[in-house]
């Protein structure tokens, strides 16, 4: 096959170049790149030499990724992220929308966090976890742990109704000893918000 040496391609009715090729084989397309839908076994967009791995479109308003000819990931028409992770089919991923690891004793201090702006100390074992970005509503789940000494004595993390419990912009939690249910200020408190 002969090599066609071009730098620019233009439709006869276009006022500017439709496709531009540079000396490094970079391609600039002036319009939309429209591909066939493809499938998991033959994705529409794939790398050279790996014909069963790439991006395809399984249905209206859905974008999928295949690896090894199997659907591995999907963004569906409702913007739900679905993934396989070795289970044999894709399922919706329910993400941790906020998390925090903080010192609950003495001066409350956040060690690390995601989508948590601050912790309000409302008394012994009573905290309010404030979100950087609010949840869409208050229908989320909360989980966490409490460790109240370096010897790893356990505590229990509870939702705390006295601080407003659950709202879209914060969640109230309380920590108590797992031996006598007394309120405690743990050294390590972790909170996960799943929605």
Helix (H) or strand (E) holding 75: strand 70-75
Same domain, 87 and 104: no
Whole-number pLDDT of residue 160: 61
40 in a domain, yes or no?
no
CA distances from 165 to 142, 147, 195 (A): 10, 21, 16
Same domain, 63 and 141: no
Whole-number pLDDT of residue 5: 77
Which phi-psi region, left, alpha or beta, contains residue 167 (left: φ > 0; alpha: ψ -120 to 50)? beta
- Percent residues over pLDDT 90 in the chain: 49
164 in a domain, yes or no?
yes
Q: What are phi and psi of 176, to 5 degrees?
A: -135, 155
Owning domain of residue 56: 45-92
Rounded distance between C-alpha atoms, residue 58 and residue 64, angstroms: 7
Same domain, 115 and 79: no
Same domain, 173 and 87: no
For residues 98-120, average pLDDT: 94
Rounded distance between C-alpha atoms, residue 147 and residue 97, angstroms: 23
Of 67, 92, 117, which marks where a domain is finished?
A: 92
87 in a domain, yes or no?
yes
Same domain, 185 and 102: yes
CB crowding 131-168: b at 16 or more within 10 Å, else e: beeebeeeebebebbbbbeeeeeebbbbebeebebbee
Rounded distance between C-alpha atoms, residue 2 and residue 23, angstroms: 18
Residues 115 and 131: beta-carbon distance below 8 Å: yes
Number of domains in the chain: 2
167 in a domain, yes or no?
yes
Of 92, 126, 157, which marks where a domain is finished?
A: 92
Q: How many CB atoms lie within 10 A of CB 193?
A: 23
3 in a domain, yes or no?
no
Same domain, 88 and 100: no
> What is the rounded average pLDDT for all residues in the chain?
87
Q: What is the pTM of this model?
A: 0.69
Same domain, 184 and 100: yes
Of 92, 119, 152, which marks where a domain is finished?
A: 92
Whole-number pLDDT of residue 58: 95
pLDDT over 80 (residue 179)? no
149 in a domain, yes or no?
yes
15 in a domain, yes or no?
no
Same domain, 59 and 141: no
112 in a domain, yes or no?
yes
């Amino acid at each position: 096959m002969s090599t066609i040496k071009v730098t620019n391609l233009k439709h006869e009715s276009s006022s500017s170049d439709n496709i531009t090729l540079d000396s490094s084989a970079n391609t600039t397309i002036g319009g939309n790149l429209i591909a066939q839908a493809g499938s998991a076994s033959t994705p529409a967009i794939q790398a050279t030499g790996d014909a069963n791995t790439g991006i395809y479109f399984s249905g209206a308003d859905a974008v999928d990724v295949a690896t090894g000819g199997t659907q591995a990931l999907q963004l569906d028409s409702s913007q739900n992220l679905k993934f396989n992770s070795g289970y044999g089919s894709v399922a919706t991923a329910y993400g941790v929308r906020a998390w925090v690891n903080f010192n609950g004793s003495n001066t409350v201090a956040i060690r690390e966090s995601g989508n948590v702006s601050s912790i309000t100390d409302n008394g012994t074992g009573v905290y309010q976890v404030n979100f950087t970005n609010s949840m869409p509503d208050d229908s989320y789940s909360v989980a966490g742990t409490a460790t109240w000494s370096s010897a790893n004595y356990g505590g229990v993390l509870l939702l705390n109704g006295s601080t407003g419990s659950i709202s879209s912009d914060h969640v109230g939690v309380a920590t108590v000893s797992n031996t006598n249910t007394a309120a405690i200020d743990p050294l390590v408190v972790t909170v996960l918000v799943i929605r």
